[in-house]
């Protein structure tokens, strides 16, 4: 039974090594497992990320938030329809006649600027998701280690209780025989 317990401890240590991707000396391994079990390892990814954002990144996030909303779509559709109505119906001499070359130029410029900004925001969100996934993995590993430790302790308690029960039963039998 003790060899199995030692194998489990070694496996836990290997898991911890893989988790942290570090080479750890034999002396530090048990300290590391205790540290994982006893100390909180979770981080609030959103707070961590928000405090490190530059103005450009905040602007990119805000632009992505606005450009990806129904309000923007409806507002921009109204702008385009208004532009067309103004240039076809209202103005006697249209500023941008029928093929709407100026409107197409503005739309192309907007798209060429908006797309990279939205991609910057998405890339940062992907990094944040990756950090969140790593954090979840560490929390899951810690929970697993704690559960295994608790399971081992419960098994030890049950073993001790069985021994006590046997001793009590043997004492009863001896007392009956007397």
Residue 23 maps to a domain: no
Q: Give the HSE-up count for residue 63: Cα atoms under 13 Å, Cβ half-sphere.
A: 18
Q: Which domain holds residue 128?
A: 40-177
Residue 4 maps to a domain: no
Measure the CA–CA gap between 13 and 145, rounded to whole angstroms: 10
Residue 33 maps to a domain: no
Residue 100 maps to a domain: yes
Residue 99 maps to a domain: yes
The model's pLDDT over 37-85, given as tens digits with 9 standing for 90+, comes to: 666 777 777 777 778 889 988 888 999 999 989 999 999 999 999 999 9
15: Cβ contacts below 8 Å, ≥ 6 apart: 141
Residue 13 maps to a domain: no
Domain count, the chain: 1
What band does 3 get if pLDDT is binned at 50, 70 and 90?
Answer: low
The model's pLDDT over 106-142, given as tens digits with 9 standing for 90+, comes to: 999 999 999 999 999 999 999 989 989 988 888 888 8
pTM above 0.75, yes or no: no
Which tokens sit at 62?
């805000």
Residue 21 maps to a domain: no
């Amino acid at each position: 039974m003790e060899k199995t317990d030692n194998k489990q401890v070694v496996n836990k240590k290997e898991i911890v090594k893989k988790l942290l991707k570090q080479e750890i000396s034999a002396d530090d391994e048990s300290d590391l497992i205790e540290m994982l079990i006893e100390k909180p390892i979770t981080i609030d990814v959103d707070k961590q990320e928000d405090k490190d954002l530059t103005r450009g990144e905040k602007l990119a996030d805000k632009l992505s938030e606005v450009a990806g909303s129904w309000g923007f779509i409806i507002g921009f559709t109204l702008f385009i329809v208004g532009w067309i109505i103004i240039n076809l119906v209202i103005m006697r001499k249209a500023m941008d006649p029928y093929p709407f070359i100026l409107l197409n130029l503005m739309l192309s410029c907007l798209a060429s600027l908006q797309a990279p900004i939205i991609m910057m925001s998405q890339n940062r969100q992907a990094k944040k998701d990756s950090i969140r996934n790593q954090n979840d993995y560490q929390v899951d590993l810690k929970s697993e280690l704690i559960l295994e430790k608790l399971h081992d302790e419960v098994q030890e308690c049950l073993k001790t209780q069985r021994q006590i029960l046997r001793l009590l039963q043997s004492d009863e039998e001896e007392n009956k025989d007397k």
